[in-house]
Amino acid sequence: MQSAQTGNDVRIERLIEWLRDAHAMEAQAETMLNKQASRIEHYPELKARIDQHITETQNQARLIEGCLQRYDKSYSGLKDLGGKMMAMGQAMGGMMVNDEIVKGAQMGYVFENLEIASYTILIAAAEAVGDTQTKEVCERILVEEVAMADWLREHLPELTQAYLTRAAEPNVEAKR
């Protein structure tokens, strides 16, 4: 049926667009996490968790690229990496402030939740077009994003206390 076919094309188009957004988001995440981890000096537990998530993030980007390549063999993520996420990256990157360790963890939690929303949307879109492979990939990635978000939220109180303890000491660096 002509109309059903057209409707499905639109859904696939949208799915591909959202996969590209997710790919750009993961590239942005990797840049931000690398920058964050490289600046941390006194909070080894947070640094270790971020390092773990950098590895996960690189793998997520590859998985999403694989989903896109099933639609277009010649797909290269490079062309998606410029635009949309830059503003948020800049907003989060410019935080070399007194409490940057706390602000960084706070913004990390915000970003993980953006990712959680993105993969929840992608799972629904993949289901709508019957793309079970993409759906399974996104479900697998979602588990990692939820774990990272949960970890950050659970560790915010402890991190805040550690920061405040250091900040109250004379001649002790607290912010990173």
Residues in contact with Fe ion by the rule CB under 5 A: 57, 60, 115
How many of the other CB atoms lie within 10 Å of CB of 19?
27
When the beta carbons of 100 and 115 are compared against Fe ion, the nearer one is: 115
The structure tokens 């990157």 sit at 93
When the beta carbons of 95 and 149 are compared against Fe ion, the nearer one is: 149
When the beta carbons of 12 and 121 are compared against Fe ion, the nearer one is: 121
Closest distance between Fe ion and the C-beta of residue 123, in Å? 14
In angstroms, the CA 25 to CA 27 distance is 5
Closest distance between Fe ion and the C-beta of residue 148, in Å? 8
Residue 63 contacts residue 55 (beta carbons within 8 Å): no
The structure tokens 């896109």 sit at 68
Tell me what percent of the chain is helix, strand and coil, each rounded to the nearest 5. 80, 0, 20
Closest distance between Fe ion and the C-beta of residue 31, in Å? 12
Closest distance between Fe ion and the C-beta of residue 53, in Å? 8
Q: How far apart are the first and last CA of the chain?
A: 61
Closest distance between Fe ion and the C-beta of residue 14, in Å? 20
**Greatest alpha-carbon span in the chain:** 75
